[in-house]
């Protein structure tokens, strides 16, 4: 990486740090700031950065960030509490998520004739995960009932890992067309990826978590290296699965989920790491998104692409949410609130970069442009509406007279939130 690029990254972090206290109390979110800064220094701005989307450094950074995000997000989820208390995110994940992918693929097939049905499915899967951090005023606001903000938080923490198998399968099917390998080869490849990845991840998460827990309890391992264990264990799961033919990203997700539920005593260390080093990587990715990926849409925009981006954030999200919450006795404003605040962000960016590496995928350029446009719309649309949206919904709940302990106000345990900063 050139010295100028390092200087730009360092200055962006320092500049944001100097105003972070003021930004925290405004409608401006950190992703908005870093995407804007990326655009400012890009080829369409000041022309200070001239990275190509195929730059190896970008892909390495994206892979490390995705591994850490999958691992730490999964480690936040208490499966027992999820099963006993959090029926809303369970509904959103078990019914809403598959419906979102199906509806997204069907609409993409109708709008983009150049995309095969499997390429449309790849696009839909990439845009299915949500990113609660883009609407931090929502998931961190005391104005929003804890049950509702935790529904968005838990959904965001799990859906990126849950769609990984679907992305692997659809990507394999999309690239299999015209390849010399038989169908049996691809079936075996996918089966090994889906089987060995979780096995390695569960093993690393359980054994690694117990070792770190033992090291901390005995005094052999200090607090700093307990924090760093998040990096070591997530990368171990990723690389270990890759060595045996499994999927490393699925392994990292399963490792985090296992550790978070079998060694909860050390989870606070993981959260501390994620809030510092992990968030640094996340914000750098948003800056790269603005500097390298966003300029790519210039000259490639069509009405179909813009329309799909808008539909992805509205109809393709809202209808599955409404269907998944039917029978849950939620008010219409709650359904609308949960439906709108399903931002597309970090996971979609990182998944798109993975797809870029698949040079044999005919529609990869179209898919990339659609994803970039959708994420751009989401970063600014959801970011700017999060604070006023939380205030609007809070007033609606207060005026409706919904009783404590019922409906939207049903008490649930709070799981940690992945946000760039907290009050």
| 96 Cα distance to chain centroid | 16
pLDDT at 185 over 70: no
Q: Which carries the bigger pLDDT value, residue 393 or residue 280?
A: 393
Q: Span 140-159, mean pLDDT?
A: 88
* % residues pLDDT > 70 (the chain): 93
- Let me know if residue 160 belongs to a domain: yes
Dihedral of the alpha carbons of 63, 64, 69, 71, in degrees to the nearest 10: 110
Q: Say if residue 137's pLDDT is above 70.
A: yes
pLDDT tens digits, 250-274:
999 999 999 989 887 777 777 777 7
Residue 418's pLDDT is 63
Mean pLDDT of the chain: 86
353: CATH: 1.20.1530.20
How many angstroms separate the CA atoms of 188 and 185, rounded? 5
In a domain, 105, yes or no: yes
Q: Is residue 32 in some structural domain?
A: no
Distances (CA, A) of 305 to 97, 167, 300: 22, 21, 9
What integer pLDDT is reported at residue 192 of this predicted model?
Answer: 78
What DSSP state is assigned to residue 327? T
Q: Name the residue range of residue 121's domain.
A: 56-409
Residue at 21 is within a domain: no
Q: Return the number of other C-beta atoms located less than 10 Å from residue 394's C-beta.
A: 16
pLDDT band at 92 (very low <50, low <70, confident <90, very high): very high
Here the tokens at position 254 are 């399963």
Residue 23 falls inside a structural domain: no
Confidence of residue 181 (pLDDT cuts 50, 70, 90): low
Residue 48's CB is within 10 A of a number of other CB atoms, namely 14
Q: What is the mean pLDDT of residues 107-122?
A: 94
Judge whether 419 lies within some domain: no
pLDDT band, very low/low/confident/very high, at 423 (cuts 50, 70, 90) = very low
- Look at residue 82 and tell me whether its pLDDT is greater than 50: yes
Backbone angles phi, psi at 377, to 5 degrees: -60, -40
Q: Which residues contact 345 (CB under 8 A, 6 or more apart)?
A: 31, 130, 131, 133, 134, 375, 378, 379
Q: Say whether pTM exceeds 0.85.
A: yes
Q: Indicate if the pLDDT at residue 338 is higher than 50.
A: yes
Give the least confident one: 27-41, 91-105, 302-316, 365-379: 27-41
144 CB burial (10 A radius; 0-12, 13-18, 19+):
buried
Q: Which of 343, 421, 334 is nearest to 88 (CA)?
A: 334
How many angstroms from the chain centroid is the CA of residue 103? 20
Q: What is the pLDDT of residues 282-298, one digit of tens each?
A: 888 999 999 999 998 88
Task: Provide the domain count of the chain.
Answer: 1
Residue 130 counted as domain residue = yes
In this structure, is residue 248 part of a structural domain? yes
Number of Cβ within 10 Å of residue 27's Cβ equals 13
Say how far residue 252 (Cα) sits from the centre of its chain. Answer: 14
Residue with tokens 């883009």: 134
Structure confidence at residue 398 (pLDDT): 82
């Amino acid at each position: 990486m050139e010295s100028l690029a390092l200087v730009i990254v360092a200055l962006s972090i320092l500049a944001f740090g100097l105003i972070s206290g003021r930004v925290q109390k405004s409608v401006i979110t950190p992703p908005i700031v870093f995407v804007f800064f990326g655009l400012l220094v890009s080829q369409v701005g000041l022309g200070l950065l001239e990275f190509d989307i195929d730059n190896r450094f970008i892909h390495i950074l994206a892979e490390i960030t995705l591994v850490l995000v999958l691992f730490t997000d999964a480690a936040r989820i208490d499966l027992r509490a999820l099963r006993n208390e959090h029926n809303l995110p369970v509904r959103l994940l078990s019914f809403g998520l598959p419906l979102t992918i199906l509806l997204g693929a069907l609409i993409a097939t109708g709008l983009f004739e150049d995309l095969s049905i499997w390429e449309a499915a790849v696009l839909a899967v990439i845009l299915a995960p949500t990113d609660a951090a883009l609407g931090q005023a929502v998931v961190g606001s005391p104005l929003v009932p804890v049950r509702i903000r935790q529904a968005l938080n838990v959904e965001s923490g799990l859906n990126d890992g849950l769609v990984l198998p679907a992305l692997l399968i659809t990507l394999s099917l999309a690239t299999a067309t015209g390849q010399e390998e038989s169908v049996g080869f691809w079936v075996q490849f996918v089966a090994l990826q889906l089987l060995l990845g979780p096995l390695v991840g569960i093993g690393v998460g359980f054994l690694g978590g117990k070792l770190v827990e033992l090291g901390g309890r005995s005094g052999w391992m200090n607090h700093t290296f307990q924090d760093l264990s998040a990096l070591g264990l997530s990368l171990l799961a990723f690389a270990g699965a890759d060595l045996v033919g499994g999927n490393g990203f699925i392994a990292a997700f399963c490792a985090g989920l296992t550790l978070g539920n079998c060694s909860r005593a050390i989870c606070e260390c993981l959260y501390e790491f994620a809030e510092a080093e992990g968030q640094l990587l996340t914000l750098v990715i948003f800056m790269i998104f603005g500097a390298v990926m966003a300029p790519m849409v210039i000259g490639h925009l069509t009405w179909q692409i813009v329309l799909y981006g808008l539909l992805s954030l509205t109809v393709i999200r809202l209808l599955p949410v409404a269907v998944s919450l039917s029978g849950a006795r939620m008010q219409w404003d709650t359904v609308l609130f949960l439906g709108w605040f399903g931002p597309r962000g970090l996971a979609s960016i990182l998944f798109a970069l993975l797809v870029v590496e698949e040079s044999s995928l005919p529609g990869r350029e179209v898919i990339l442009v659609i994803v970039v446009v959708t994420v751009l719309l989401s970063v600014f649309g959801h970011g700017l509406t999060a604070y006023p949206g939380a205030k609007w919904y809070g007033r609606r709940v207060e005026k409706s007279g919904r009783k404590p302990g019922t409906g939207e106000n049903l008490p649930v345990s709070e799981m940690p939130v992945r946000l760039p900063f907290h009050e």
